[in-house]
Amino acid sequence: MVKTSVTKESIFLGKFTQEELDHIIHEASTINDVGKRIDFLSRLFLDLDYSESTLIGSINVPEVFALNFEGVDCYTYIDYVEAMRLSSSFSEFKVNLRKVRYKSGMVAFENRNHFFTDWREFNADFVKDITEEIGTQKAIRAQKMINEKEDGTFFLPGIHPVQREITYVPSNAIDESVFNKLETGDYVGIYSEVQGLDVSHVGIIIKDRNDIYLRHASSLKEYRKVVDQDFKNYIIGKPGIIVFRPKDLENLSGRSH
């Protein structure tokens, strides 16, 4: 375990050493297929404990750049995987994690991407919203004031609410044609019907021949860790899904992979 705790950084590497992570990230960078690379990297976290509140910062507490591999929640999990897949070394991973987690890579609570659709708005260089593409005429568009509760208060004090159009595919409309369009490495958000929220949970699609899984950090009592669950069963009874697809590395501006 390596810990650096100054005013701006807090780093816990858990079971890994920095040298091991550097080797893993470099090895992953040689995998050209985006989905296979994300599968390889996300698999490293399987069975890792679910842990809330590993990030440091609020409207009253100065933001700290936090990296914690001792436990993840559903959001930090995809943060780490996406930043790793953009990198070829541990040092580059730290730089990319700032870019994935914060608007313009500037570490501050108000700049943090708190909501899944923040990725669509601020990480468009890395991912593309393909929800309407895979849902076609089944997709539904909803207008939401993100971060504002029904009573007018905020989910996250200090973060200004924003009006946002959200497209999702309702679960009762997800058929084999939708499943077939999903790809390994797609980031999926479970649409929330709660006023002020875009999604209730996020994870990664993993396809293995005829099987399709949601790889995610589950908070459920029977898991409380990163697991693979049958996606078709998982979404039964859920309101719907939002899907972001990672872009090919060679198409990313400023990237040489």
Q: Please tell me whether the overall predicted TM-score, pTM, comes out greater than 0.85 for this model.
A: yes
**Residue ranges matching CATH 2.30.260.10 in the chain:** 127-246
Q: In the structure encoding, which two tokens stand for residue 236, read together?
A: 């039964």
pLDDT tens for 176-193 read 999 999 999 999 999 999
Distances (CA, A) of 80 to 6, 29, 85, 205: 21, 15, 9, 16
At residue 220, φ and ψ (nearest 5 deg) are -65, 145
Q: How far apart are the first and last CA of the chain?
A: 30
Give the mean pLDDT of the chain: 93
Q: How far apart are CA 98 and CA 109, in angstroms?
A: 12
Level-2 CATH architecture, domain 127-246: Roll (2.30)
Query: Which CATH superfamily is 9-116 part of?
Result: Putative xylanase like domain (1.10.3670.10)
**Residue ranges matching CATH 1.10.3670.10 in the chain:** 9-116
Q: How far apart are CA 119 and CA 106, in angstroms?
A: 15
Cβ(78)–Cβ(199) below 8 Å:
no
pLDDT tens for 1-48 read 444 434 489 999 999 999 999 999 999 999 999 999 999 999 999 999
Q: Report percent pLDDT > 70 for the chain.
A: 95
Rg (CA), the chain: 18
The bridge status of strand 225-230 relative to strand 211-218 is: antiparallel
Structure confidence at residue 256 (pLDDT): 39
Cβ(167)–Cβ(135) below 8 Å:
yes
Structure confidence at residue 36 (pLDDT): 97
Q: Give the residue ranges of the chain where pLDDT is below 70.
A: 1-7, 251-257
